[in-house]
Amino acid sequence: MTMVVGYRHTGIIVENMEQSLVFYQDFLGLEVIQEFWDDSDYICRITCLEDATAHFVKLRANDGTVLELLEYPTHRTQLQPQPIHNVGVLHIAFEVATLEPAEGDGREKQPVGVVTLPTLREQYFKGREVLWSSATPV
């Protein structure tokens, strides 16, 4: 019998929460379900940081999948370039109805680069934090 009974969420450290929400909320359409700040002793203990403050935003997709964005404004870091074959998380795949923005929904104005890889039948969105994968429209 497996210990895992379900999938809870994916947490991503972001450089800039406001810019990240433009992508996840405004462009992809994920719903913000919770937002809070934490500067408690607990957050300092689990991060091994002194005087840390964390900003959390949880977003939900239509199927209930939860994505958690975290920003540490008191302990900023920079994204380190890594080759795509580096050990670690490669991508997050979202199932989408369409990759085309609806007329007037504002998505056509968002600063998101899209790279199409036809042999893989996927669209890759180059965000500020990582390379995102979006499954072929269903």
The string of pLDDT tens digits covering residues 59-105 is: 999 989 999 999 999 999 887 777 777 787 766 777 666 655 555 55
Identify the structural domains of the chain with CATH numbers, from first to last. 10-135 (3.10.180.10)
Compute how many other C-beta atoms are within 10 angstroms of the C-beta atom of residue 134.
18
Contact 70, 111 (CB under 8 A): no
Contact 74, 87 (CB under 8 A): no
- H or E segment and range at residue 117: strand 113-117
> Cα dihedral sign for 70, 55, 129, 120?
positive
Please indicate, yes or no, whether the overall pTM of this predicted structure exceeds 0.85. no
